[in-house]
Amino acid sequence: MSKLFVSEHPLIHAKMAMLRNKETGTKEFREIIGEVASLLFYEATRDLPVTDIAVQTPIAATICKTIDTKLAVVPILRAGLGMVDAMVDLIPSAKIGHIGLYRDPVTHEPVEYYCKLPFDIEERYIIVCDPMLATGGSAAAGIQFLKDRGCTNIRLMCLIGAPEGIAEVQKQHPDVDIYIGTVDEKLNDHGYIIPGLGDAGDRLFGTK
Ligand code: PRP
Ligand code: URA
């Protein structure tokens, strides 16, 4: 079974309260999504291998640690895009892949419409990101695309998860660790997370 990391950090709780609030506007919503992504990325990269490098300070020569792992951030479109900048700001050498999926409004099944990945994706340490893990269908399908292309080192990072979605990803991908800001109560009949924050894509891009 994969590892499930659920943040109990006060900063994430406080920012989540702002994201959930329906009065929070697009600009602020976008900024806070990035801030929470940054805090979760800190946890999701905790086990990244480091190597020694020689550094000359103004005072002395020393050995420091650096990250030379090949990393890829793979947002699930659209809403995953809102998490990307915060991550690549911290590791600018990371490459970005895109997987376009939307949920069919009736069946809630994921429908693929775009996929563009770094040419060496199978060699990379991959973080798939999407703010919302509802039924788990989109995340599980996105992870499967990557596995079909030979990827083996995959983590999933989401802001809010429903128990149903977490269980589905763990069932389909027991090798993929999940990093999540908070776990909500359940899904409603339309597959929306309760209490959730509404439609993350629409709130990020102001489309509704
Ligand atoms: C949302 C969200 C996830 C998906 C989660 O995307 O960003 O990708 O739903 O639901 P699931 O776990 O039940 O699959 P949506 O399909 O609304 O597309 P959008 O990001 O383009 O708005
Ligand atoms: N997608 C969203 O954006 N929000 C939900 O609550 C569920 C799926």
pLDDT band of 167, cuts 50, 70, 90: very high
* Residue 85 falls in the annotated catalytic set: no
- Would you say residue 186 has pLDDT above 90? yes
pLDDT band of 102, cuts 50, 70, 90: confident
DSSP code at position 21: -
Provide the pLDDT for residue 108.
85
Provide the pLDDT for residue 105.
85
Separation of first and last alpha carbons in the chain: 38
pLDDT band of 14, cuts 50, 70, 90: very high
- Of these residues, 68, 89, 120, 202, which one is catalytic? 202
Provide the pLDDT for residue 104.
87
Locate 127 and state its tokens. Answer: 């973080």
* Residue 46 falls in the annotated catalytic set: no
> What is the number of the ligand closest to the CA of 104?
1
- Would you say residue 193 has pLDDT above 90? yes
Atom of ligand 2 nearest to the CA of 196: 6
Q: Where are the beta strands (DSSP E) in 18-166?
A: 51-56, 61-66, 71-77, 95-96, 98-103, 110-116, 125-129, 132-133, 154-161
Provide the pLDDT for residue 103.
83
Amino acid at 98: H
Q: Read off the pTM.
A: 0.96
What are the tens digits of pLDDT across the range 26-66?
Answer: 999 999 999 999 999 999 999 999 999 999 999 999 999 99
* Residue 175 falls in the annotated catalytic set: no
Provide the pLDDT for residue 172.
97
Q: Is the CB of 134 under 6 A from ligand 2?
A: yes
Residue 15 to residues 52, 64, 131, 152, Cα–Cα distance (Å)? 35, 33, 13, 32
The average pLDDT across 171-175 equals: 97
